[in-house]
Amino acid sequence: MRPRVFITRNVPGEDALARLRASCDVTIGTYSSILTAEEILHGAREADALLCLLTDRIDAALLTQCARLRVIASCSVGVDHIDLAAATQRGIPVGHTPGVLTETTADLAFALLLAAARRIGEADRFVRTRQWTLARRWEPDLLLGKDLFGATLGIVGLGAIGQAVARRAQGFGMRVLAWNRTPKCVEGVECVSFNTLLAESDFVSLHVALGAETKQLIDEAALARMQPGAVLVNTARGAVVDQGALVSALRSGKLAAAGLDVFEQEPLETDSPLLQLENVVLAPHIGSASDATRRRMTAASVENLLAGLTGKPLPHCANPTVYAVKNP
Ligand code: NAP
Ligand code: GLV
């Protein structure tokens, strides 16, 4: 019998999906918004394999009810939406998509950094709201921002995306500091303690995975240690930052600006104070959103699923200890 695969929502990449369909019965959820737990269960209950998105919460309660499930592939690098321990305990390898989205996400982080530094959002609103009048044709002090050249960038989490951001910063003539849980040697990057990074950086960009240890890593105390007038960029996960403390730091002027692609709650609440702040550039979690990268992510997810369904190790497994559990 052909394995059954449930894909929670349609994903770009017809070629890769055709490869999957060649050997599997594929069902794709027709939901136009984020799936509820019931909707995921409805599709996954009888499935041998699940392709999910970062918006799909895959917890122990769901896994218990999906007795046939042999492999999960998330079309994302981050896997904080999946209970990895529960999957491992059930012998289910969980695939993800590192590498293929590194440069695209680093581009977005750098775009936010530039936009926040040079006040591009404010400038755009200034022109659109017809404030750019003949009387104000060119003003010596209009929308003054911060230079990147010669400034110090602190990278929190020197993984694949952190390193790709470091390469961009070097091209812009920045001094690059980094803090990483596991000390790492990367050319042109000075590895420093977390507190030194906060104290010395004009710009701080976050690239750690979200887990118990990194939740609210940037809290009130960390923000207080940052340079007055520093800029914070977050393309990692919203919960890495205490959003309330960030709003206070942006309001008080402790931080000059922030560029944010990720939030504690997504979508951002309609009454979020962040929406009222001029000195924030906001994006709706689009770090990996280029057509080519999204197709590569689907292809990587399909490779993970096909490997799992044929009993092979996943090319990119987020819970490799599952194999030790399976073969003690
Ligand atoms: P990666 O290469 O695996 O890097 C992960 C980084 O997080 C490493 O520096 C790692 O440190 C650190 N880390 C993991 N667990 C930690 C912990 N408990 N304490 C401290 N540091 C920890 O992953 P990546 O491809 O660079 O992606 C990084 C993150 O970016 C993803 O997890 C995801 O949340 C986010 N992301 C967002 C978007 C977006 O659309 N905005 C797109 C892609 C990725 P070690 O070197 O010590 O392991
Ligand atoms: C995006 O946020 C990802 O983790 O791939």
Q: Which tokens in the block code for residue 238?
A: 């919203």
102-282, what's its fold?
Rossmann fold (3.40.50)
CB 178 within 8 A of CB 189: yes
In the chain, CATH 3.40.50.720 sits at 4-100+291-326, 102-282
The full DSSP string for 52-121 is E-TTS-B-HHHHHT-TT--EEEESSS--TTB-HHHHHHTT--EE--TTTTHHHHHHHHHHHHHHHHTTHH
The residue written with tokens 């404030």 in the block is 131
Is the C-beta atom of 102 inside 6 A of ligand 1? yes
Give pLDDT tens digits for 272-307. 999 999 999 999 999 999 999 999 999 999 999 999
Residue 116 near residue 282, CB atoms below 8 Å: no
pLDDT of residue 328: 46
- pTM (2 decimals)? 0.97
Q: Specify whether 19 is catalytic.
A: no
* 215 Cβ inside 6 Å of ligand 1: no
Is 207 catalytic? The answer is: no
Angle of CA points 20, 26, 32, to nearest 5°: 115
Is residue 261 in contact with ligand 1, taking CB distance under 6 Å?
yes
Please give the pLDDT value at position 327. 55
The ligand placed nearest to the CA atom of residue 80 is 1
pLDDT at 326 (0 to 100): 56
CATH no., domain 4-100+291-326: 3.40.50.720
316 is catalytic: no
Distance CA 88, CA 85 (A): 5
Cα(238) to centroid(ligand 1), Å: 13
- For residue 208, the CA-to-ligand 1 centroid distance in Å is 4
C-alpha of residue 97 to centroid of ligand 2, in Å: 9
Residue type, 17: L
Which ranges of the chain have pLDDT less than 70? 325-328
Q: Which of 84, 97, 105 maximizes ligand 1 atoms within 8 Å of its Cβ, making it the mutation to test the pocket?
A: 105
Closest approach atom of ligand 1 to CA 158:
9
For 294, residues 6+ apart whose C-beta sits below 8 A from its C-beta are: 11, 12, 13, 288
